[in-house]
Amino acid sequence: AQSVTQLGSHVSVSEGALVLLRCNYSSSVPPYLFWYVQYPNQGLQLLLKYTTGATLVKGINGFEAEFKKSETSFHLTKPSAHMSDAAEYFCAVSDNTGNQFYFGTGTSLTVIP
Amino acid sequence: ETGVTQSPTHLIKTRGQQVTLRCSSQSGHNTVSWYQQALGQGPQFIFQYYREEENGRGNFPPRFSGLQFPNYSSELNVNALELDDSALYLCASSFLDQPQHFGDGTRLSIL
């Protein structure tokens, strides 16, 4: 069985500050891990994914995430927040078949000018 | 390339009615998944279709059913609508183990 926990349903950062969104997962098999972003009234857009190999994954818009097996974590970071980063962020886990994704409850990111 | 498109964008139904939602997969994708996203929640997996066969199902009752067509487009059907079915319904398509690409969803409101 697989599940995702996103710590912090709301995160606020100042423009230019570090963004850190937390994600912990539970999986009985080696997981595939994903971060998606959702803007109001839109679907989900893939930011980045981890399947195998390098544990530090770089995605679009300057985001990156590190897979830490020992901590069962896949936290999302960005060195400098931009106003356009304000959105809902979802962490997701699947097995290596990709047959079923389990999403977290999401973290709403607010960027303060 | 053509992305995932869903129709309609918004829909209002009453309890007990039936609804059909439609999804056109991204070009080259042969797998489609459907999700229900209640307000303020993450998407919940309903089911997945691969080559016109159901290929996995989440914890949803049988009144949620689906179809995938030879061109890989898909339908989600919900019978006997309940108030709790009000949600954003998302379709996502993929190919092999590549990440899913999502449509913008259909917002279903049940009165």
B102/A34 CB distance under 8 A: no
3-state secondary structure of A60: helix
What one-letter code names the amino acid at A57? V
Contact at CB, B43 and A49, closer than 8 angstroms = no
Could you read off the pLDDT tens digit of each residue along chain B, which spans 111 residues?
568 999 999 999 999 999 999 999 988 888 999 999 999 899 999 999 998 999 889 999 999 999 999 988 999 999 999 999 999 999 999 887 777 889 999 999 999
Place of tokens 């989900």: A44
Partner-chain contact B56 A101, CB within 8 Å: no
Give every CB contact of residue B97 below 8 A, 6+ residues apart in sequence: A32, A51, A96, A97, A98
Residue A62 DSSP symbol: G
- Hey, is the C-beta of B94 within 8 angstroms of any chain A C-beta? yes
What's the confidence (pLDDT) of residue B2?
60
Report the number of secondary-structure helices (H) and strands (E) in chain B.
Answer: 0, 11
Q: Which of B56, B97, B99 sits opposite A100 (nearest CB)?
A: B56
DSSP A61: G
Q: Residue A16: what are its φ and ψ, rounded to 5°? A: 90, -10
The CA distance from B93 to A44, in Å, is 12
Burial code (b: 16+ CB inside 10 Å, e: under 16) for A61-77 equals eebbbebeeeeebbbbe
